[in-house]
Amino acid sequence: MTDETSGAAAPLSFDIRGILAALPHRYPLLLVDRVISLVIGEKIHAVKAVSFNEQFFQGHFPGRPIMPGVLQIEALAQAAAILAIETLELAGSGKLVYFMAIDGAKFRNPVEPGVLLDLEVGFVQKRARVCKFWGKASIEGKVTCEVEFTAMVADPPEG
């Protein structure tokens, strides 16, 4: 689909069915609820609805529930995987996107239940098998996490 005014491709969006088709993750580790916009080869904006019912809030921390920073990075990585799968046309191929490196992770503000966590990810570098991304998580414009990470596209392990 193209934007008739500029000739550019219109951003894509995905509901949960599209996300489940793109990612192998399932509850309780699926951390992307909706893709607001995806521009092939460039960036993605997705959201995670952070609910008090999340399993990790039982122990992190009782009386002061805060989403673990590592799960914010995982949510960003899942958004990046959707971006990579769509950009590299890997949907339905069975290929997986694996972490290779996490660099410069900074946690700015806590994420508590009852918020929509915005997940913005873009390519820093893209190749057929290895991609580098920047990622930023935020709540109503207030940054909670910033990170760069590298991922590889590979076949799933034999089972």
Q: If you write DSSP's letter for every residue of 93-116 in order, what string do you get? A: S--EEEEEEEEEEEE-S---TTEE
| pLDDT values of the chain reduced to their tens digit, one per residue, 159 residues | 444 455 567 889 999 999 999 999 999 999 999 999 999 999 999 999 999 999 999 999 989 999 999 999 999 999 999 999 999 999 888 899 999 999 999 999 999 999 999 999 999 999 989 999 999 999 999 999 999 999 999 998 887
pLDDT value for 1: 44
With respect to residue 54, please indicate whether it lies within any of the assigned structural domains.
yes
19 within a domain of the structure (yes/no) = yes
| Catalytic status, residue 25 | no
Q: Is residue 60 part of a domain?
A: yes
Domain encompassing residue 125? 12-154
The verdict on residue 65 lying in a domain is: yes
Look at the chain and report how many structural domains it folds into: 1
Active-site residue among 25, 34, 60, 126? 60
